[in-house]
Amino acid sequence: MSDQEDDIILSELDNEELVQQMFDDLYDGLKEEIEEGVNILLERGWQPYQVLTEALVGGMTIVGKDFRDGILFVPEVLLAANAMKGGMAILKPLLAETGAPRVGTMVIGTVKGDIHDIGKNLVSMMMEGAGFEVVDLGINNPVEKYLEALETEAPDILGMSALLTTTMPYMKVVIDTMIEQGKRDDYVVLVGGAPLNEEFGKAIGADAYCRDAAVAVETAKDFMARKHNKLAAG
């Protein structure tokens, strides 16, 4: 890398160049540069939602595709997601003030008996990166915790994660309880985790099994698009 490239001054770039540079900085996981870029665009009169969708979501879409295609790996994606979080921290209060549209809301958590959370955290970050509001319940969640969150957060999507074969069946407990309470049809249920597969997802009554975070984002977006189309048609 030449000295010239090292000395890119973000404030001297025009909007289009700055957004492109932010894509690169997100890809490289450069949190401070992303925070600076977000602030520059806001100072130039960009709306918070425009900064989110064009600069941050645009950049994370590239990260997501390269992760799906095996060009990027988990540590790099976590770095990119962390940089995204830096930008989001600035935008979140502004988005709340302006009442910006969100793609959708997701409640996510690892099931009871399971304390693994890297995959879940990655999905949370990538979903936020795609413009979703994410409520992360953490690890070791009993059915009551999921149901309570569905009640209080009224999300579009419930995401459940498990890394142990012994905790996988607990997902069915949650779904069965939702059916008993007549709530199952109100939510899209996505499941994921290393030992799961598509057949298991179908067998327990989930809407979809997502093999990784990039697939989870694509699947969630698909479901939300269908929902919006239904509402428009209705």
Per the CB < 8 A criterion, the answer to whether 72 and 66 are in contact is yes
Mean pLDDT rounded to a whole number for the chain: 92
User: Alpha-carbon distance 234 to 231, whole Å?
Assistant: 5
Structural domains in the chain plus CATH codes: 10-101 (1.10.1240.10), 102-234 (3.40.50.280)
- Give residue 92's pLDDT: 86
- Across 17-52, b (16+ Cβ under 10 Å) vs e yields ebbebbbebbbebbbebbbbbbebbbeeebebbebb
Average pLDDT rounded to a whole number, residues 187-201: 96
Q: What pLDDT digit, counting tens, does each position of 84-123 carry?
A: 989 999 998 898 787 777 789 999 999 999 999 888 988 9
pLDDT-based confidence at residue 12 (cuts at 50, 70, 90)? very high
- Placement of tokens 């009224």 in the chain: 154
**pLDDT tens-digit readout, 125-161:** 889 888 899 999 999 999 999 999 999 999 999 999 9
pTM of the model: 0.78
The whole-number pLDDT of residue 1 equals: 38
Query: Model confidence at 6, in pLDDT bands (50, 70, 90)?
Result: low
C-alpha–C-alpha distance, residues 226 and 234, integer Å: 12
- Asked which of 44-48, 95-99, 178-182 is least confident by mean pLDDT, the reply is 95-99
Bridge-based pairing state of the strands 105-110 and 157-161: parallel
Backbone angles phi, psi at 96, to 5 degrees: -65, -40
Mean pLDDT of 173-184: 98
